[in-house]
Amino acid sequence: MKRLLPHIFILFLILTAIYPYKALSAVDRELEVREAVTAFVTARTADMGWDVRIRRITISDALKLPEGNVEYEIVAQQQWEGWGNINIMVLARQKDRLIRNIPVRIEVEALADMVVTLRQIEHGTSITATDLVLQRREITQSSHLAARTLDAVIGKKARITLRANQPVRTDQVEKVPLIKSGQMVTIIAENGVMKISVTGKAHSSGAEGDLIRVQNLTSLKEIPARVIDATTVQVAF
């Protein structure tokens, strides 16, 4: 036993020298990773005009990384729109060497101005300013296509019945046709020198600015024309 004591003592010195060094060489980087993720979300949504708040950042692994400067790169789905829940990857590099892949889950709340109905609007009804209000609402799967301005909805008609107190999506409304298929119209063609007008017949319906098919009743040719008002269309000249 006495012969073993010197060897045990030497082993003890080696262990006490090595393990404290290793413990000190690993640094908790969780705060740095959270800051990197926050900066990424802020940059991703900076030009969208939203109020963005990160509800939760979940990091499942312990973040003990080597001492010294560490750089972080965030890898996320390209199509991620900046709101909702998503899994991302944080790549930790030191001196251009990848030292850790860190899986992270984030939950992001985003608020934006949306057009909201004040009452129920029946299918086919023309929408007026008294039917709507602009409110700050959370973006969700059902409302991320919501109209952002009142002008985008006022004057249009509901394609479906719109429930009260709900954001109005742009695909739920459509322009009110000024010209209907089969009606008589005035076809005009003009440039800086002259203006020509003839009588025509609409072969399709359209709202202001829409291109429709019309028949020139003089030549009997069918041509595309742009709707100007409830009785007039214009052709390129």
Instruction: Quote the pLDDT of residue 52.
Output: 93
Instruction: Quote the pLDDT of residue 13.
Output: 46
Q: How many Cβ atoms are within 10 Å of 167's Cβ, its own excluded?
A: 23
CA angle 120, 125, 129 (to 5 degrees): 70
pLDDT in tens, 28-64: 889 999 999 999 999 999 988 889 999 999 998 777 8
Q: Are residues 78 and 139 in the same domain?
A: no
Residue 5 lies in a domain: no
Q: Are residues 32 and 104 in the same domain?
A: yes
Q: What is the pTM of this model?
A: 0.62
Residue 80 lies in a domain: yes
Backbone angles phi, psi at 186, to 5 degrees: -100, 125
Which residues contact residue 64 at a Cβ distance below 8 angstroms, ignoring those fewer than 6 apart? 26, 27, 28, 29
Instruction: Quote the pLDDT of residue 25.
Output: 55
Residue 106: name the closest of 125, 86, 122, 124 by CA. Answer: 86
CATH number of domain containing 68: 3.10.129
pLDDT in tens, 194-230: 889 999 999 999 988 899 999 999 999 999 999 999 9
Instruction: Quote the pLDDT of residue 16.
Output: 47
Full residue range of the structural domain in which residue 200 is found: 184-234
Q: Are residues 95 and 52 in the same domain?
A: yes
Quick check: 175 and 132 in contact, CB under 8 A? Answer: no
Q: Are residues 127 and 56 in the same domain?
A: no
Q: Are residues 167 and 126 in the same domain?
A: yes
Question: Beta strands 26-28 and 64-66: pairing type?
Answer: antiparallel
pLDDT in tens, 92-115: 999 889 999 999 999 999 999 999
3-state secondary structure of 89: strand
CATH number of domain containing 133: 3.90.1210.10
Quick check: 171 and 155 in contact, CB under 8 A? Answer: no
